[in-house]
Amino acid sequence: MHASKLHSTFGCSSNMFGNVPGYEGTVPGGGGFLPPPMPMEPVAPPQPGPENPEWSIPSLSEDEALKAFKEFVSSHCCYSDAPVTQGVITSMEPFNTFRYRLETFTESRSTEWAQKPYEGEPADFYTQPAPQPWEVQATPPNLFSDHKVKIRVPFTSSVKECNTCHATGIEQCTECNGSGKKACWVCNGTGVKLDAACSHCNGTGKESCSKCNGRGKNECQTCKGKRQLLTYIELKVEKNNVEDHVVEHNSGLKTDKLCSVNGKELFKNSQNLVYPLIGFPNPGVSQASDRLIKEHQTKYGQTSRILQQRQTVELIPITRVNYKWKDNTHAYYVYGNEHKVNADDYPATCCCVIL
């Protein structure tokens, strides 16, 4: 149920909820994330990962560059293939770059008062103390996958009368405001059609409301006709945080283009807490690793429990292909393992006219 709906439903009755020790301040719609408890045992110090000797990838051949260019042009209906068939490659410049990725698999918890139609569930409020938010058992998900789950906190459930319908199970129809009738759609409520009494409504200008079948009332949407609500504290568990950093490559290709491609994986390391990459051949990777690890500790350490971290380094191939066509020099880029092409200044485009 949406938070604003919760406030309007809950707000009119301050005694809808009891006071649960450890959950003071819990409100409909929820609040911020709850700080995790201090670990029972010291976390093992992070260790540097092993070195990977393979820091290079094979260069792109002219045939591969031409093939990628041809496929790119053929996928655009407004591009002539003349630059592909007539153009001559003059030079190819590699601008291979690194992408550093840090994944911090966290568990964040927040609570809010929630309610649902009562369907015979046990009302266990105060039968014994409720577990604290970080004591509630949650099924561990697969590591490094986005995960959200909602859990009803044990021993916080109680049964209340529905305050929307005052425990009647029905509420006034909003379509006809409870009258059971609405304006006739044929005569627009006038009762007259073509200078005669409207045959659809027999000249009354009214017809039965289809939403409530003329009863003027409908099932209460809050309690679904059950007359009672089960109110409880709901725990929300959310997991996983990912950030990327692409080392500056000065190729002229926009960095955001690299989000959609893969590179050659050079290094991967998973630990409870990973260690910044020191002495990496490209200092930009080491700097990004140190910065992002510190940022994640600051950002998530206070409000989340860090379960595991993983850092990955990829080498992303980027080649600038310079070619000549009609005595003019042009260029395109081939990048990623997928050999995607970017050619913002393609010289032979046309306007398609649809008749």
Q: Tell me the pLDDT tens digit for each residue of 226-256.
A: 999 999 999 988 877 788 889 888 888 998 8
As a whole number, mean pLDDT of residues 5-14 equals 43
Confidence of residue 56 (pLDDT cuts 50, 70, 90): low
Q: Which range among 56-65, 88-97, 112-121, 255-264 shows the weakest confidence by mean pLDDT?
A: 56-65
Three-class secondary structure of residue 84 per DSSP: helix
Selected residue with higher pLDDT from 127 and 340: 340
Q: Which of 42-51, 202-211, 255-264 is predicted with the least confidence, judged by mean pLDDT?
A: 42-51
**67, part of any domain:** yes
For residue 118, tell me if it sits in a domain.
no
Mean pLDDT score, 60-71: 95
> Which of 6-20, 81-95, 197-211, 235-249 has the least mean pLDDT?
6-20
Residue 274 belongs to some domain of the structure: yes
The whole-angstrom distance between residue 339's C-alpha and the CA centroid of its chain comes to: 28
179-182 contacts at long range (C-beta below 8 A, 24 or more positions apart) = 179/209, 179/216, 180/208, 180/209, 180/212, 180/214, 180/215, 180/216, 181/206, 181/207, 181/208, 181/209, 181/214, 182/206, 182/207, 182/209
Domain count within the chain: 1
In a domain, residue 354? The reply is no
pLDDT band, very low/low/confident/very high, at 157 (cuts 50, 70, 90): very high
CB 180 within 8 A of CB 214: yes
Whether pLDDT at 172 is above 50: yes
Residue 302 lies in a domain: yes
Structure confidence at residue 43 (pLDDT): 56
Residue 354 has a pLDDT of: 45
Per the structure block, which two tokens stand in for 124? 């266990």
Does residue 76 lie within any of the structural domains?
yes
Lowest mean pLDDT among 107-111, 113-117, 144-148, 308-312: 144-148
Band of pLDDT at residue 277, cut at 50, 70 and 90: confident
| 39 pLDDT above the threshold of 80 | no
Q: Can you tell me the mean pLDDT for 179-192? A: 93
CA angle 108, 113, 119 (to 5 degrees): 115
Task: Report which DSSP code applies to 305.
Answer: E
List strands edge to edge, sheet with 88-94.
Answer: 88-94, 318-325, 328-335, 340-342
Average pLDDT, the chain: 85
User: For residue 259, is it within any domain?
Assistant: yes
> Per-residue b/e over 91-107, b at no fewer than 16 CB within 10 Å?
ebeebbbbbbbbbbbbb
pTM over 0.75: no
pLDDT for position 302: 80
In a domain, 20, yes or no: no
Average pLDDT over residues 194-215: 93
How would residue 262 be classed by pLDDT, with cut points 50, 70 and 90? very high
Structure tokens at 105: 């698999």
Domain assignment of residue 94, given as a range: 62-103+240-342
For residue 250, what pLDDT is reported?
Answer: 83
